[in-house]
C-alpha cells in the first residue's frame, strides 16, 4: 500500500534521476520539503539547481518555467493550490498552451503544472475551486486528474515525459490516502498513458463517470447499490483533455444509463461536456433515460463544514441520482 503523496514523490524522484533536464520549482518545494511534503527529500538529494524555492509570485515563477521549457528543459511547476494559478493563467494559457500551435510546431513547451485542485476541508471559497473545466476548455493543454496512487505516479511520469504543457490536478484530501499499488506500478518504467480512462468496477445497469476524489464516492455508492441488485459500472476518467469518450460510449451502449459525478460547478462543467458528447454520438440511441449530472453546488464554497458538505457530491447524492435514472 502506497499513499498518493508517496506515489507522487516516487515519480518525481525517478524522473529527476532519469533525465537531468527535469527540475522542480515552486513555493517551499526545496528546503521545507514541499507544502504537502510531495517533494520530501528531493532538495537534499538533487540540490539547489534541480529543486528551486521561488518567491510568492505565481506569474513570475510560472513564466520562468514556461521559458525554461521553450529551451528544452522539463520544469515541474508546483502551485500551492490551483486557485493561485489564476495569478499565472496568462502564462499557462497564452505562453504555454498556444506557443506550439502558433509556432507551427517548432517550439514545444514540455512543462508540467501540478498541485492540489478542488475542495479541501474548511479552506473557504478562494481555496476550494475545481479547475478541470477551466483548463480542460483550452486547446494546447493536456489535463490529467488522478484518483489513486497508481494514477498519480503513472500520470505524473507521463506528463513529465510529454512534449506538451500538462496541467495535473491533484486532490489535497487524497494525499494521505493509501492505495494498493501493483509491482508493475512501482517499477521505474511505469506510466499511465494520457487520454485513457480506466474502468474501476464492471457493471451492467448504469455507467458512473467521474474523476479525482469523487471516483471513490462512486465506488462506495456502487457497493451500496450492489446490495440492492443494481450493478454500476464506474469509470475513472484519469484525463480531462483529451477525454476518452470512446470508453464512456462503449459503457453506455452496455448499460443504457449515464450518471456523471464531479466536485466542480455544474455550468459548462466536465459532466456537461460528457453529456453533450454522448448526445452527439451514436451511444445516444442506446440511452433509456436522460443522462444525469451530480456536481458541486452552484455557489462559492461556504466556510462552515456542514454547508461545505452540502455543497459537495456525497455518496447519498450519487445513490439518489442512480435511482432517479433507473426509476426505482
Rounded CA separation 236/77 (Å): 25
- Residues 71, 141, single domain; the answer is yes
Rounded CA separation 311/308 (Å): 5
Distance of alpha carbon 120 from the chain centroid: 14
- Residues 203, 175, single domain; the answer is no
Structural domain includes residue 61: yes
Structural domain includes residue 220: yes
Structural domain includes residue 193: no
Write the secondary structure of the chain as one string of H (helix), E (strand) and C (coil).
Answer: CEEHHHHHHHHHHHHHHHCCCEEEEECCCCCCCCCCCCCCCHHHHHCCCCEEECCCCHHHHHHHHHHHHHCCCEEEEECCCHHHHHHHHHHHHHHHHCHHHHCCCCCCCCCEEEEECCCCCCCCHHHCCCCHHHHHCCCCCEEECCCCHHHHHHHHHHHHHCCCCEEEEECHHHCCCEECCCCCCCCCCCCCCCCCCEEEECCCCEEEEECCCHHHHHHHHHHHHHCCCCCEEEEECCEEECCCHHHHHHHHHHHCCEEEECCCCCCCCHHHHHHHHHHHCHHHHHCCCCCEEECCCCCCCCCCHHHHHHHCCCHHHHHHHHHHHHCC
- Residues 177, 205, single domain; the answer is no
- Residues 281, 143, single domain; the answer is no
CATH number at residue 243: 3.40.50.920
- Residues 127, 239, single domain; the answer is no
Residue 73 burial (CB count, 10 A)? 16
Sheet with 112-116, edge to edge strand ranges: 51-53, 22-26, 74-78, 112-116, 166-170, 142-144, 239-241
Of 186, 218, 250, which residue is a domain's last? 186
Which grid cell sits at 129? Answer: 475551486
- Residues 124, 269, single domain; the answer is no
Rounded CA separation 206/321 (Å): 11
Number of domains in the chain: 2
Rounded CA separation 206/138 (Å): 30
- Residues 165, 281, single domain; the answer is no
Of 186, 221, 255, which residue is a domain's last? 186
Which pLDDT score is estimated for 244?
Answer: 98
Residue 227 domain boundaries? 198-326
Rounded CA separation 115/113 (Å): 7
Residue 302 burial (CB count, 10 A)? 17
- Residues 30, 174, single domain; the answer is yes
**CA-based max dimension of the chain:** 60
Structural domain includes residue 117: yes
262 carries an active-site annotation: no
Which pLDDT score is estimated for 157?
Answer: 98
Burial 36-72 (b: 16+ CB within 10 A, else e): bebbbebbeebeeebbbbbeeebeebbbbbbebbbee
Structural domain includes residue 29: yes
Which pLDDT score is estimated for 269?
Answer: 97
Of 141, 156, 186, which residue is a domain's last? 186
One pLDDT digit (tens) per residue for the chain, 328 residues: 999 999 999 999 999 999 999 999 999 999 999 999 999 999 999 999 999 999 999 999 999 999 999 999 999 999 999 999 999 999 999 999 999 999 999 999 999 999 999 999 999 999 999 999 999 999 999 999 999 999 999 999 999 999 999 999 999 999 999 999 999 999 999 999 999 999 999 999 999 999 999 999 999 999 999 999 999 999 999 999 999 999 999 999 999 999 999 999 999 999 999 999 999 999 999 999 999 999 999 999 999 999 999 999 999 999 999 999 999 9
- Residues 229, 101, single domain; the answer is no
- Residues 253, 318, single domain; the answer is yes
Phi, psi at residue 229, to the nearest 5°? 85, 10
- Residues 202, 178, single domain; the answer is no
CATH number at residue 148: 3.40.50.970
- By DSSP bridging, strand 239-241 and strand 142-144 are antiparallel
Structural domain includes residue 203: yes
- Residues 158, 276, single domain; the answer is no
Catalytic residue among 14, 58, 172, 233: 58
Residue 104 burial (CB count, 10 A)? 7
Which pLDDT score is estimated for 147?
Answer: 97
Catalytic residue among 14, 27, 78, 127: 127
Which pLDDT score is estimated for 328?
Answer: 93
Which pLDDT score is estimated for 38?
Answer: 97
Q: Is the entire prediction scored with pTM above 0.85?
A: yes
137 carries an active-site annotation: no
Rounded CA separation 163/142 (Å): 10
Structural domain includes residue 292: yes
Structural domain includes residue 192: no
Amino acid at each position: 500500500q502506497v499513499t498518493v503523496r508517496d506515489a507522487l514523490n516516487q515519480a518525481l524522484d525517478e524522473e529527476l534521476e532519469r533525465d537531468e533536464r527535469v527540475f522542480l520549482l515552486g513555493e517551499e518545494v526545496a528546503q521545507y520539503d514541499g507544502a504537502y511534503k510531495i517533494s520530501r527529500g528531493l532538495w537534499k538529494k538533487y540540490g539547489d539547481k534541480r529543486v528551486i524555492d521561488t518567491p510568492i509570485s505565481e506569474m513570475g515563477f510560472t513564466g520562468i518555467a514556461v521559458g525554461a521549457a521553450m529551451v528544452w528543459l522539463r520544469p515541474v511547476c508546483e502551485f500551492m493550490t490551483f486557485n493561485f494559478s489564476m495569478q499565472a493563467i496568462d502564462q499557462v494559457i497564452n505562453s504555454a498552451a498556444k506557443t506550439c500551435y502558433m509556432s507551427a510546431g517548432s517550439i514545444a513547451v514540455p512543462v508540467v503544472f501540478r498541485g492540489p485542485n478542488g475542495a479541501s476541508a474548511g479552506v473557504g471559497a478562494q481555496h476550494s475551486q475545481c479547475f478541470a473545466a477551466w483548463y480542460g476548455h483550452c486547446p494546447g493543454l493536456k489535463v490529467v486528474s488522478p484518483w489513486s496512487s497508481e494514477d498519480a505516479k503513472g500520470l505524473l511520469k507521463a506528463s513529465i515525459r510529454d512534449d506538451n504543457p500538462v496541467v495535473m490536478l491533484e486532490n489535497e484530501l487524497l494525499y494521505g490516502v493509501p492505495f494498493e499499488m501493483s509491482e508493475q506500478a512501482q517499477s521505474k518504467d511505469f506510466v499511465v498513458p494520457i487520454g485513457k480512462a480506466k474502468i474501476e468496477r464492471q457493471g451492467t445497469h448504469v455507467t458512473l463517470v467521474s474523476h479525482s476524489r469523487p471516483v471513490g464516492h462512486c465506488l462506495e455508492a456502487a457497493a451500496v447499490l450492489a446490495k440492492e441488485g443494481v450493478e454500476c459500472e464506474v469509470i475513472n476518467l484519469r484525463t480531462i483533455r483529451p477525454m476518452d469518450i470512446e470508453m464512456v460510449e462503449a459503457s453506455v451502449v452496455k448499460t443504457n444509463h449515464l450518471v456523471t459525478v464531479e466536485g466542480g460547478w455544474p455550468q459548462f462543467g466536465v459532466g456537461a461536456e460528457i453529456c453533450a458528447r454522448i448526445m452527439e454520438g451514436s451511444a445516444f440511441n442506446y440511452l433509456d433515460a436522460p443522462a444525469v449530472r451530480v456536481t458541486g453546488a452552484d455557489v462559492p464554497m461556504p466556510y462552515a463544514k456542514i454547508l461545505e458538505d452540502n455543497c459537495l457530491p456525497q455518496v447519498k447524492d450519487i445513490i439518489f441520482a442512480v435511482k432517479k435514472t433507473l426509476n426505482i
